[in-house]
Amino acid sequence: MEDPVPILKVISDDTRFAIVTLLLSRDLCAGAIARRLGVSDAAVSQHMKVLREAGLVSVERRGYFAHYSVDRGKLIALSEMISDMAGWARLPCDPDMEGCVMGGRGSCPKVRCRSAEIDGAESPGSTAVSRDEKMRIAVTYENGEVFQHFGRTSEFKLYDIQDGAVVSSEVVGTGGKGHGELIGVLRQLGVSALICGGLGEGARQGLEASGIRVCSGNTGSADEAASRFADGSLGECSRATCDHHGHDGDHQCNCGRHS
């Protein structure tokens, strides 16, 4: 599921949540729903319009009556995403990333911040790798280059970095997973940073919440991008984002990086 917010907003309404609950037990027509909930037919029609626009409910005409049913697949995807969120790593504060050192605010008292002591973790803001640090990064990959759509990548190229240089690499498949599921894939692979082309803001937030640095807006050779990350010359992570419209329709992007 690419963006759970629209469905969460839809079912946050008491009446719509009750409608979904009813339809999980059996298909019902609008009149039956209205009688069970004690609301008007017109009110049910309005709520059904919202549910259908969100893709959560579908309708099938049977004789004179239209019967509604719930897309259980969307509810399952939603529950899996929320379950995955519960497992995201908790990170220390990052003065550079959060802008605490900008705008004349003075120095961030990081040494006094309790969150900075979590698991002895260091701030993940810098893209440079220290000389004695060993880490694994991933690049969205296709035919030797940085693949431009994070949620649709079918392969990652993994790079193990030590002493400011790439020491090994391998290409791994994503197993057909996409969008939010890819965050779990990267976590299982032990990835600390991702180099990619475009990605949605929700994916960026999920990656960063899982302790994975994000360097987006990259093009060209995957090997070169990994080498530049290793020696610290890749530069700051860009804030380029992509807006995906549907799962198999057109893709529109505002990051200006796609060919």
Cα–Cα distance, 252 to 134 (Å, whole number): 37
Asked whether 58 and 68 are in contact (CB, 8 A), the reply is: yes
**In 3D, which of 254, 259, 236 has the Cα closest to residue 244?**
254
Q: 259 lies in a domain? A: no
Cα–Cα distance, 158 to 20 (Å, whole number): 43
| pLDDT at residue 223, rounded to an integer | 95
Q: 258 lies in a domain? A: no
The answer to whether residues 43 and 115 belong to one domain is no
Decide if pLDDT at 89 tops 70: no
Decide if pLDDT at 101 tops 60: no
The answer to whether residues 133 and 104 belong to one domain is no
Q: The domain that contains 223 carries what CATH number?
A: 3.30.420.130
**In 3D, which of 185, 141, 132 has the Cα closest to residue 159?**
141
| pLDDT at residue 233, rounded to an integer | 84
Its pTM surpasses 0.85: no
The answer to whether residues 249 and 130 belong to one domain is yes
| pLDDT at residue 144, rounded to an integer | 94
Chosen domain end from 125, 149, 180 = 125
The answer to whether residues 13 and 64 belong to one domain is yes
Q: 139 lies in a domain? A: yes
Average pLDDT, the chain: 77
Q: What is the mean pLDDT of residues 235-241?
A: 48
Decide if pLDDT at 51 tops 90: yes
Query: Domains in the chain: how many in total?
Result: 3
Decide if pLDDT at 148 tops 50: yes
Q: The domain that contains 46 carries what CATH number?
A: 1.10.10.10
Q: What is the mean pLDDT of residues 128-151?
A: 82
Q: 216 lies in a domain? A: yes
Domain that holds residue 199: 126-253
The answer to whether residues 216 and 241 belong to one domain is yes
